């Protein structure tokens, strides 16, 4: 098995010490060894970033943007290669991997606007011969810790914008599928990024703690589970760092009696079972307003779930690949058993699925529960697998109360033809990202991504305008040039116009 290296100061670096296996989820076989970075290796990356920062921060934004333009082109040229690596290590289908990459490239496109997004604000004559302006300056060395479920897209939420704002970056990707992330970082160097501005280190909690504790690291971005998000936020802010930590989700779709049910079913199939449900924006709860809607929905879902095309992610024409690991598959299976024990109706059971030629893969078929109630674990907790729960309520108000009472507030949507219902839902729902007849309301790159409540720790969302604010700090400058031959007496009162 090959050893996947770190990328530090523009060089591929290996080290002796602890390693982890990287698996192909479709075959169940280990395919690579991954070094788990020591504190010394983390410090080398920090030192490289710190050394590169003075020159990079003084590089004109237009030249930084030129690097991003070339980077975007290289990403598009290498789409097939990147998608193959994602699918081999994550398990998602090639089409899904390509879609993930395209959404990541949108953020590179936004970063290409550096000269515009970094423009300060200027006011002339705020007082006698006094001008004032604000400037957006980089923080220095910043770091990102990213999850397995989007090894291309989520890192691209972070470092293109951080770097184009003038920072130097250290990325700690997931240990489960690091190859595509490393390749993409190498393409950024190929695009002309100076050595040390972008570094990639592999590791586990020890690497995360080293980044949290390093005084040189001024900001941390994280996407993952809520317990880890809360830990990183608490430990990072305790040390004076700026932190944005995106956590878990339990995303509801509300189906009104007037919904276009056929289109809603098509949308739910992709939103619940795409990427095997391993998305923080996956719809895992369908809240049906009325038994008639619920009965019709279940009747339409069942044959489509049973017809899902499931196989090795690197094959073409599939709907779903495997889960990322045996542990993930077993955890989801445990939730299914718990749902049955709690009294929910398991209408479609995807356990026990075997894929010919890939019998050792981490496969699980689509599952559907009906008659789920709010006190059940399968309702309360994030399953992160191909499991959709149907909850029955009597009114839109009851559906909204159900969602607002949940600890997570990441994403939600409503299917309706009624504008009044949609407007009420958008105004009153306590969730950060809302869709109307859109099941996965992931904001485009020039908006910002983030949930409410325990789905986000920190004041600023990811990428877009909030990302610019997160990776810069504002400096306000007030300047005066007195007229010649003028003299003013000292003023001891607080200055005012």
CA angle 422, 426, 431 (to 5 degrees): 135
Crossing angle of helices 79-90 and 179-190, in 10° steps, is: 160
42 in Cβ contact with 211 (< 8 Å): yes
Strands 217-223 and 141-145, how do they pair? parallel
User: What is the Cα gyration radius of the chain?
Assistant: 25
- The beta strands (E) that lie in 2-99 are given as 2-3, 6-8, 11-13, 19-24, 29-35
Helix (H, G, I), strand (E, B) or coil at 223: strand
In the chain, what is the straight-line distance between the N-terminal and C-terminal CA atoms, in Å?
Answer: 71
Nearest-angstrom CA–CA distance, 328 and 383: 9
Nearest CA to 449 out of 153, 242, 124, 121 is that of: 153
- Torsion angle in degrees (nearest 10) through CA of 231, 146, 86, 351: 20
Nearest-angstrom CA–CA distance, 400 and 342: 24
Is 276 catalytic? The answer is no
Nearest CA to 171 out of 139, 207, 213 is that of: 207
441 in Cβ contact with 461 (< 8 Å): no
For residue 31, give the DSSP letter.
E
What are the residues whose beta carbons fall under 8 Å from the beta carbon of 43, sequence distance 6 or more? 210, 214
Side-chain half-sphere CA neighbours of 150 within 13 A: 24
**CB burial of residue 33 (10 Å; 0-12, 13-18, 19+):** middle
Dihedral sign for Cα 118, 119, 125, 131, please.
positive
What are the residues whose beta carbons fall under 8 Å from the beta carbon of 194, sequence distance 6 or more? 10, 52, 55, 56
Helices (H), 274-322: 291-306
Phi, psi for 485 (deg, rounded to 5): 65, 20
Marked catalytic residue, from 168, 280, 288, 413: 280
Positions annotated as catalytic residues are: 280
């Amino acid at each position: 098995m090959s050893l996947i290296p770190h990328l530090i100061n523009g060089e591929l670096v290996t080290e002796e010490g602890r390693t982890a296996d990287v698996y192909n989820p479709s075959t169940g076989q280990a395919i690579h060894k991954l070094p788990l970075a020591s504190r010394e290796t983390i410090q080398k990356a920090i030192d490289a970033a710190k050394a590169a920062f003075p020159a990079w921060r003084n590089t004109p934004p237009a030249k930084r943007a030129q690097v991003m333009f070339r980077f975007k082109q290289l990403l598009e040229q290498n789409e097939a290669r990147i998608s193959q690596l994602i699918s081999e290590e994550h398990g998602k289908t090639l089409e899904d991997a390509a879609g993930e990459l395209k959404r990541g490239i949108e953020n590179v496109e936004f970063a290409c606007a550096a000269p515009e997004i970094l423009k300060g604000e200027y006011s002339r004559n705020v007082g006698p011969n006094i001008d004032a302006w604000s400037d957006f300056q980089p923080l220095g060395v910043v770091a990102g810790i990213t999850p397995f479920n989007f090894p291309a897209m989520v890192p691209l939420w972070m470092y293109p914008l951080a770097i184009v704002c003038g920072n130097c970056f250290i990325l700690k990707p997931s240990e489960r599928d690091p190859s595509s992330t490393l390749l993409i970082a190498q393409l950024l160097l190929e695009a002309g990024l100076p050595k040390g501005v972008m570094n990639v280190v592999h590791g586990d909690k020890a690497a995360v703690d080293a980044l949290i504790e390093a005084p040189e690291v001024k900001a941390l971005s994280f996407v993952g589970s809520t317990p880890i998000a809360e830990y990183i936020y608490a430990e990072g802010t305790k040390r004076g760092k700026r932190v944005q930590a995106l956590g878990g989700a339990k995303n509801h779709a509300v189906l009104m009696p007037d919904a276009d049910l056929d289109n809603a079913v098509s949308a739910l199939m992709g939103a619940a079972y795409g990427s095997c449900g391993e998305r923080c924006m996956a719809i895992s709860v369908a809240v049906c307003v009325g038994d008639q809607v619920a009965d019709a929905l279940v009747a339409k879902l069942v044959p489509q779930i049973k017809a899902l095309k499931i196989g090795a992610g690197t094959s073409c024409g599939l709907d779903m690949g495997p889960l990322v690991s045996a542990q993930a598959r077993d955890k989801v299976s445990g939730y299914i058993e718990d749902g049955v024990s709690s009294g929910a109706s398991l209408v479609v059971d995807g356990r026990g699925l075997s894929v010919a030629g890939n019998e050792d893969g981490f496969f699980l078929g689509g599952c559907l529960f009906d008659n789920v109630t709010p006190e059940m674990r399968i309702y309360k907790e994030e399953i992160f697998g191909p499991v959709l729960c149907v909850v029955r309520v009597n009114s839109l108000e009851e559906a909204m109360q159900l969602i607002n009472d949940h600890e997570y507030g990441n994403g939600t949507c409503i299917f309706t033809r009624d504008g009044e219902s949609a407007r009420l839902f958008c105004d009153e729902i306590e969730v950060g990202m809302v869709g109307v007849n859109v099941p996965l309301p992931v904001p485009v790159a020039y908006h910002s991504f983030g949930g409410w409540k325990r789905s986000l720790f920190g004041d600023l969302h990811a990428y877009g305008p909030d990302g610019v604010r997160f990776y810069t700090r504002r400096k306000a400058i007030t300047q005066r040039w007195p007229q010649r031959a003028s003299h003013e007496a000292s003023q001891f009162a607080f200055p005012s116009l």
